Amino acid sequence: MASLVLPLLMMGVATGCAEEYPQSSISPHTDFAEIIHSLYVSIFWWSMLILAVVWVLLAWVIVKYRRKSEDEKPRQIRGHLGLEIGWTIGPALIVIAIAIPTIQAVFATQQPVADDAMTVEVTGHQFWWEFHYPEQGVTTANELWLPVDQPVNLRLESNDVIHSFWVPKLGGKRDLNPVPAVREGQDPKYNWLYFTPRETGVFMGQCAEFCGQSHALMAMRVVVETEEGFQDWIDRWFASEGADFPGDPEPEEPELQMPGMDPDDEPDETQVAAEDEDPLVALGRETFLNSTCIACHGVEGTAAQGVIAPNLTLFGARKTLGAGIMENNQENLVRWIIDPQGIKAAVAMPGTEYPGGNWPATGLSDEEVEAVAAYLLSLK
């Protein structure tokens, strides 16, 4: 049987060798993922045992009882009670051996949350992720930053269709459901995912529930940092733009002026360029803050306060662009701003020449696009 090599292959998989697979589900890096993995390994070996028994028996009868002559008259055996009981009880015992640790793990992975857990509110959108840290007051997108060894509790919900949060090395997935409206005074029901990262590093994740045209392109990165690294990131988030400008006032209400917005509008007073600033970046900032971008996007410390698209604060520090689908660099970013839908179908963002997400084309020139990209990448 050609398929006899298969279990050997599977054994290889069970015993590790998963490091070159950045999204491997059998390479645990949290307590949560470890529970799952050890359960998986034990069920895997039970399965191999059963498979071996079935295949060996099958091979045996195939070889041994092949018909030798048409006149053979095998004994007509109709059954055997003892055997029937045997192969009912045997599997039943194995089922129990699998089910008990499974149910223990079910409860272990959905246990009450530790008091010191950090909450992050995750909202799924077609086709990107929003991460809000209520305790820190920080909002970011597509790249989730977490401190190592700190229990984290993700509150999951969706803004449109069902998505599913899956970062295999950090543990199993859970769906982001649209939360049904409830009557006043009742609590809406959210999904939660709870784990403690054990190692620093960058982990790949991807939306695991089919959510429309660009479901394939709804990825993300999780950056697990040291305690200090994480705190530094938070600090930088608040400092991002205004940091160079002590005494920066509260950002003004965004001017939700529509297309055809006057480009001569005076830029925000506080956005005076620092002395040594690249003129391209300065131009980019000005262009960005005066175009439709800010109707949807927000950048902390500026007039850009849009909330319906990824928050772009510290965007330059992100490793990837477009919800984890490509490297975040000038070239890709320019391509993105010019033609987001060409890169990612059905994205709700206008390009330079066509509308998107209820907004008309941004109409930026190539030069302006270069500048905006440079500006966004400067946000670190």
Partner 1 sequence: MSSVGTAAPEQQDTSHGEETGLWSWITTVDHKRIAIMYFVTATFFFFVAGVKALAIRVQLMFPEQTLITPEVYNQFFTMHGTTMIFLVAMPMAVAFFNYVVPLQIGARDVAFPRLNALSYWVFLFGGLYLNSSFLFGAAPHASWVGYATLTMPEFSPGQNTNFWLIGLSILGIASIAGGVNFITTIINMRAPGMKLMRMPLFTWMTFVTSFLLITAIPVIGVALIYLGFDRLFGTVFFQPGGGGDPVLWQHLFWIFGHPEVYILILPAFGVISDVIPTFSKKPLFGYPIVVYAGLLIGFIGWGVWSHHMFTVGLGPIADSFFVAATMIIAIPTGVKIFNWIATMWGGSLKFTTAMLFSVGLVAVFTVGGLSGIMHASAPVNLQQHDSYFVVAHFHYVIVGGAMMGLWAGLYYWFPKVRGRFLDETLGKWHFWTTMIGFNLTFFPMHFAGLFGMPRRIYTYSAELNVDIYNQLSTVGAFIFGASAVIMVWNLVKSWRSGEKAPANPWGAPHLEWSIPSPPHHYNFPAIPEVRSREPLWNDGEREEILAKTMHEPDSEPVMPNPSYWPILLAASITLIWALVMTGIWWVIALAILPVIYCVFKWGMEPAFPEGH
Partner 2 sequence: MAQAAAAVDDHGHTTTGISNFKVGFWTFIASECLFFGTLISTYMVYKGRAVVGPYPAEIFDVLITTISTTVLLFSSLAMVLALYSVQLGRKKHAILWLLAVIAMGGIFLGMEFNSYMKYIDYGLTLGSSTFGSSYYVLTGTHKVHVVLGMVWMGVLIWLIARNRIPPAKAEQVEIAGLYWHFVDIIWIVIFTLVYLIQ
Report the interface residues with ligand HEC, using CB under 6 A. 127-128, 141-142, 288, 291-293, 295-297, 309-310, 312, 318, 321-323, 336-337, 344, 347-350, 356-357, 359, 362, 364, 372, 376
Q: How far is the CB of 163 from ligand CUA (least distance, A)?
A: 3
Upper half-sphere CA count for residue 292 (Cβ side, 13 Å): 20
Check residue 308 for interaction with partner 1 (CB under 8 A): no
Residues 50-89, mask of contacts with ligand HEA (x by CB under 6 A): x---x-----------------------------------
Burial class from Cβ neighbours inside 10 Å (0-12, 13-18, 19+) for residue 287 reads: buried
Q: How far is the CB of 210 from ligand CUA (least distance, A)?
A: 6
The correct pick among 68, 73, 75, 183 for binding partner 2 (CB under 8 A) is: 183
Residue carrying the six token digits 């048409």: 70
The one-character DSSP state at 138 is E
Check residue 26 for interaction with partner 1 (CB under 8 A): yes
Among 193, 358, 204, smallest CA distance to 292 is for 358
Opening angle at CA 324, ends 147 and 299, nearest 5 = 70
Of 179 and 216, which CB lies nearer to ligand HEA in the complex structure?
216
Of 195 and 336, which CB lies nearer to ligand HEC in the complex structure?
336
What tokens appear for 339 in the block? 């033609």
Q: At what angle do helices 81-109 and 31-64 cross, to 10 degrees?
A: 160
Contacts of 177 (CB under 8 A, 6+ apart): 156, 157, 158, 162, 191
Of 117 and 308, which CB lies nearer to ligand CUA in the complex structure?
308
Of 23 and 136, which CB lies nearer to ligand CUA in the complex structure?
23
> Number of residues in contact with ligand CUA, rule: CB under 6 A?
9
Q: How far is the CB of 209 from ligand CUA (least distance, A)?
A: 5
N-to-C CA span, the chain: 58
Of 209 and 241, which CB lies nearer to ligand HEA in the complex structure?
209
What tokens appear for 293 in the block? 């971008």
Among 155, 234, 241, smallest CA distance to 193 is for 155
Check residue 73 for interaction with partner 1 (CB under 8 A): yes
The correct pick among 67, 185, 262, 275 for binding partner 1 (CB under 8 A) is: 67
Of 94 and 105, which CB lies nearer to ligand HEA in the complex structure?
94
Query: Is the CB of residue 171 less than 8 Å from the CB of residue 156?
Result: no
The correct pick among 134, 137, 212, 263 for binding partner 1 (CB under 8 A) is: 212
Look at residue 310 and give the partner it binds from partner 2, ligand CUA, ligand HEC, none, a contact being a CB closer than 5 to 8 Å depending on partner kind: ligand HEC
Look at residue 163 and give the partner it binds from ligand CUA, partner 1, ligand HEC, none, a contact being a CB closer than 5 to 8 Å depending on partner kind: ligand CUA
Of 55 and 238, which CB lies nearer to ligand HEA in the complex structure?
55
Q: How far is the CB of 362 from ligand HEA (least distance, A)?
A: 33
Within the chain, what is the greatest distance between any pair of CA atoms?
A: 102
Alpha-carbon distance of 28 to 34, in angstroms, equals 5
Check residue 182 for interaction with partner 2 (CB under 8 A): yes
Q: How far is the CB of 301 from ligand HEC (least distance, A)?
A: 17
Q: Which amino acid is at 245?
A: F
Query: Is the CB of residue 380 less than 8 Å from the CB of residue 316?
Result: yes
Check residue 192 for interaction with partner 1 (CB under 8 A): yes
For residues 53-85, one letter each, b for 16 or more C-beta atoms within 10 angstroms of the residue's C-beta and e for the rest, the string is eeeeeeeeeeeeeeeeeeeeeeeeeeeeeeeee
- In the complex, which residues of this chain contact partner 2 (CB under 8 A)? 180-183
Binding site for ligand HEA (CB under 6 A): 50, 54, 91, 94-95
